[in-house]
Structure 1
Amino acid sequence: MNFRSGKISLLYVSSFLSLFFYSCRPQHDYESSATDFPFEEWTIQDFHQGYEDGSLSVREVVEAYLSRIEEIDQAGPELKSVLQVNPDALAIADSLDRLRSEGKVAGNLFGIPVLIKDNLDTQDKMATTAGSRALAGSMPLKDSFVAKKLRESGAVILGKANLSEWANFRGELSSSGWSGIGGQTKNPYYLDRNPCGSSSGSAVGVSANLSVLAIGTETNGSIVCPSHANGIVGIKPTVGLVSRSGVIPISYTQDTPGPMARTVRDAAIALGCLVGVDPEDEKTLTSAGNYQSDYLPYLKEDGLKGKRIAWFKGPSGRNYKVDQLMEKAVSQMESLGATIIPIEEIEPSGTGSHSFEVMLYEYKDGLNRYFAGLGPEAPIKSLEDLISFNKSDSISLKYHNQVYLEQAQEKGDLSDQAYQDALAALNRMSREEGIDKVLESNDLDAIIAPTGSPAWKTDWINGDGFQLGSSSPAAHAGYPNITLPMGFIGGLPVGISIFGTAWSEPVLLEIAYAYEQNTQYRSPPLFIQETD
């Protein structure tokens, strides 16, 4: 394989810095796996240059990533981030190489390996399961809108990523990253730590260099939390910017797919490939005139200059180490020309309870619609069937219950007044009385907050050990949120979230890119066995 010498030298420098950074930590058996991958930390731009100058073929790239998945994910550290590898991946690579030889290279993701969270439909040889044994072998009748857009952009779908089963809205005391089909996904920085979720496999796959990009989904925190815990960039778009058709649903009001990458630039490129109006998702009708097919013009190194940003201090005081990182981030942003204004609250008390009520109603409606769309041969035909299956299965309820499924089943339909009232209250409190009020009353461009605390040790008995988070305001409102690395605590990455009003992705990207380019906190994981 003919690699460009300049790029290889950068990789050696990156590996040296990573090893220096981790030199005080326990040694492990997987160190060579972290440093001998020829495409470690490569970007979309790097691959496209290789395709353009003829030094790379798509087949070579895909073969390398498939080998990497086998070595790191299925053996070695056994990260368990990939549920299924696409059996057609090499055939797709060959078809793209043929197009390239004919001068027909097209698409901003041409030849780029991508993992898809396994709650997004693909019409191919891969099942779509939400990690549930109830949907083992379930073959959707057509591609999700996201899968279709990826294929049109020239991406190679490498496989399906593991996730917190049913996107972590199934029951109490769950462990993020665990599914009945895939088992427990591990955090690649320290293998005994949790990857957060529910887009666990998507985040780990990108962080561990098993893929260049991944697609996750979020209802509340499921893109930003795993991105934060695994040291990558995650974009939770405005609801309606990216279609949900073909996505196993939780909430019509809050669900959205979004890109996950190692750099803001790669995430921005991917976002531009996913957007568009989809008649099968009415929410996307509101995106007409609000989406961009190219977000790269908003990536400016001086993007923080002149910005007025609120610092949401609600998560403060729960972890002094996170507070110190956040204070440093604020100082860095101020040094880059931003004005930072501390605020204590965003949305009124009680907003979350309305969100939960809306989610239960919409979960029942959405799941029943999804199951009906799988056709007469579908293994599960209703939410009631799913609940019954879980009760009879030996694995599904081994570690946590299914109380949220049962609560959703008890709800009526979307014509119920209780649902209508909860939805109206949620929208009013999270938007007009929430984010929009904060931004308008202070003449602000965006809001920042720590995305979370360092990853906790995985615990199948007590479940997740969240200390803090900031995803709810943007999630409740259906507004965009970007997280990216802001440093390390005890060798574990911590992210900063940047969120704002509807369709404000361009402004958020300006801020995120400027912060990233002037800090460069991303450092690849080394798969250390245990935390000290």
Structure 2
Amino acid sequence: MPNLLSSWKKHSAALLAGALLLTGPLTASTAAAAAVYQGESSKAIELKLGDASIAPDKLIPSAELKKLFDQSAKLAGGDATFKAATKGTTVTRKDAAVMIAEGLHLSPAAEPYKDVPDKASYASSVGAVMEAKLMLGVNQTNFAPNQSLTYAGAYALAYRIYNYSMPFLLPEATIASIQQAVGQGKLTYKELVQQYLDRIEKYDDQGIKLNAILTINPKALEIAEELDKERAASGIRGPLHGIPVIVKDNYDTNDMPTTAGCLCLKDSIPSEDADQVAKLKAAGAIILAKANLHEFAFGITTSSSLGGQTLNPYALDHYPGGSSGGTGAAIAANFGVIGMGTDTGGSIRIPSTYNSLVGIRPTIGLSSRDGIIPLALSQDVGGPMTRTVADAAIVLDATVGYDPDDVATAASISRIPSSYTSYLDAKGLKGARIGVATELFGTAEAEQPTTEVVQAAVKDLAKLGAVTVDITIPNLKEIMAYPSLSGYEFKFQLNEYLAELGSRAPYHSLTEIIASGQFDKSMEASLKTRDARQSLNTEDYKDIVLFRTKTTKDALLKVMADNKLDAIVYPSTTQTAALIGEAQSAGGNNRLSPFSGFPAITVPAGYTAEGLGASIEFLGREYSEPTLIKLAYSYEQGTKHRVAPVLAP
């Protein structure tokens, strides 16, 4: 019997097939897809099911199955050993279940199958392997305990044993991998939090000193321990149970300061959590830390009077984007599982691009803005920044919905699916019609590196089954000529936020903040210009609110209708992250989403020759997040561009 080949990670097709089998029934036909392995050096030799010597439907002898399982566990770094079922004979599915349950020391569990007698000696083993998702029934009602195991089925089981036996690795951990590790007893939430705290100390406070974190939750370990106890006593609340979150420091937290990066608010602790923070906590998430941001979310380089300059973990002499640059750098460097950012003009999508992350700017009205320090409520949204589309979808599930304190969310009623994760379809691009906004591709010399990456991404969309159509957006120049409303609304909405703090407010108006001098002095002119604005009851402001929104919506809806499009795609930014100290331009593509209120999702598209991240952005109609997630997930799974920064291993 040839050795089991160890290099799963080098063979994405086999890896993907095996991962899919974790939640599907184990049959010869489905298992065959996972059974191509290839070895490295002298550790193993090549084995392919296509070889005439080992047919996929050939029955595997018991002794050979033991060798296969033993080697799977060993290659994964485990110490499990398995007992041969019946010496010198083939193996039934019930025999395999007993071998796996005993070899991996699984806890006995009940099973639901009609063809497995409850009093059978192997019943608890069937329940155990089912609960661990190592071996499922041939369908929902039957396990087929006496069915003989083929080589195809054996290799699929070996992959699962390998995956199960792998130690938990923190970098690039996902929500799913963490919950699996906790469920297998490899990890506790308290241990998870401690590992992230250790990374923050190692890479944010020392070492490369990313300067991404402003405040650590002093009760994070205590909260994690309570969530461990809760899971043991009553089960898991949901996928976010015990998951550490890093929140941009313009989200209110009632147990930590909320500062917007400004010295003027360094001791300001609101009495209530922001609505999205409250929903995350209710889902069992742990607010691990608050992240630096461009002060008051004014810019895209992420520097503040309280936190200083945040660095890009992919290139320490470059900006991390902004204004959610602290969140972006922290999640890219694996300081937490998921991050929360805000986006008025591009502040989720720009740092997501520069930090090789997935960022969702939701439809205005999908998620509450209550408790987020405002920049311009006509454009503001909060949303997830994650390393994967799947994690972003899970966060969206937890944070969307009606909030009486944000009337815009009333429009979301009946427009939210039961779960955004239902749209994680690896084949989601097949047959989709994608409009390529070629006018938004940069042509200047400084824009060429990004343009080349995104042009390659468009070709990949087609390879993955999409129909790509070059489009021209009506009235694009007119749309892009409109200003952001942050220059109009900021003063009035900040003053309202300070008033809501009541006696807790260190200052009561923008005027008082300016007088205090407790802010980034580079922002003084911008703050004074905004403070000089006397009223929003002006013709120019009303014209922008009315005509900018209508013009942008009409243009996007028309081009999508005329071309029967599911989404529009373009570069998230036209330029890469700039050197710190030099001017940073991201282009104006990020305006289409806030000017229309429509949702957008940015996904890593690769890296330039300098190793700087570039992304594509999918834009859809309002409340089309399910479609955008499906398209983005398919592109992500078909390309796998994200690579963790080598500076924070």
1:131-530 counterparts in 2 under 5 A?
Answer: 131-168=261-298, 176-313=301-438, 314-318=440-444, 319-345=447-473, 347-352=475-480, 354-356=482-484, 358-389=485-516, 392-393=517-518, 396-397=520-521, 400-432=522-554, 434-452=555-573, 453-459=575-581, 462=582, 464-466=583-585, 468-489=587-608, 490-527=610-647
Contact 1:242–1:284, Cα closer than 8 Å, also in 2? yes
- Cα RMSD over matched residues? 2.3
Kindly tell me the number of residue pairs found equivalent between the two proteins. 485
Contact 1:355–1:426, Cα closer than 8 Å, also in 2? no
1:97-116 counterparts in 2 under 5 A?
Answer: 97-116=228-247
Q: Deviations over 1:491-519 (max 9, x none)?
A: 11111111111111111111101101010
Aligned to 1:4: none
Contact 1:232–1:484, Cα closer than 8 Å, also in 2? yes
The one-letter code sitting in structure 2 at the alignment partner of 1:521 is H
How many angstroms apart in 2 are the aligned matches of 1:471 and 1:63? 37
The percent of aligned pairs where both chains have the same amino acid is: 38
> Structure 1: any 5+ residue segments left out of the alignment?
1-6, 15-35, 170-174
Aligned to 2:258: 128
Contact 2:322–2:351, Cα closer than 8 Å, also in 1? yes
Shift of 1:354: 4.0
Aligned to 2:184: 53
The one-letter code sitting in structure 1 at the alignment partner of 2:240 is L
How many angstroms apart in 2 are the aligned matches of 1:250 and 1:407? 14
The one-letter code sitting in structure 2 at the alignment partner of 1:360 is G
Shift of 1:427: 1.2
- DSSP-derived class of the 2:477 partner: coil
Contact 2:321–2:350, Cα closer than 8 Å, also in 1? yes
- DSSP-derived class of the 2:314 partner: coil
> Structure 2: any 5+ residue segments left out of the alignment?
1-5, 16-166
Contact 1:372–1:381, Cα closer than 8 Å, also in 2? yes
Contact 2:473–2:556, Cα closer than 8 Å, also in 1? no
Shift of 1:101: 1.5
Contact 2:454–2:614, Cα closer than 8 Å, also in 1? no
Change (3 A) 1:387 1:292: farther
Contact 1:275–1:292, Cα closer than 8 Å, also in 2? no
Q: Deviations over 1:355-404 (max 9, x none)?
A: 43x33332122101101011124111012112222xx34x620xx23333
- DSSP-derived class of the 2:501 partner: coil
Change (3 A) 1:346 1:221: farther
Change (3 A) 1:118 1:37: farther
How many angstroms apart in 1 are the aligned matches of 2:419 and 2:186? 27
Contact 2:480–2:588, Cα closer than 8 Å, also in 1? no
- DSSP-derived class of the 1:286 partner: helix
How many angstroms apart in 1 are the aligned matches of 2:361 and 2:338? 14
- DSSP-derived class of the 1:340 partner: strand
The one-letter code sitting in structure 1 at the alignment partner of 2:339 is A
TM-score normalized with structure 2 length: 0.72
Q: Deviations over 1:389-435 (max 9, x none)?
A: 2xx34x620xx233332232222334434322221011111111x22
How many angstroms apart in 2 are the aligned matches of 1:381 and 1:146? 25
How many angstroms apart in 2 are the aligned matches of 1:312 and 1:348? 10
Shift of 1:309: 1.0
Aligned to 2:128: none
The one-letter code sitting in structure 2 at the alignment partner of 1:79 is L
Contact 1:127–1:139, Cα closer than 8 Å, also in 2? yes
Change (3 A) 1:163 1:8: farther
How many angstroms apart in 2 are the aligned matches of 1:41 and 1:90? 21
How many angstroms apart in 1 are the aligned matches of 2:185 and 2:430? 40
The one-letter code sitting in structure 1 at the alignment partner of 2:641 is Y
Contact 1:355–1:476, Cα closer than 8 Å, also in 2? no
Q: Deviations over 1:247-286 (max 9, x none)?
A: 0001111100000110110111111111010000011011
The one-letter code sitting in structure 2 at the alignment partner of 1:64 is Q
Contact 2:403–2:410, Cα closer than 8 Å, also in 1? yes
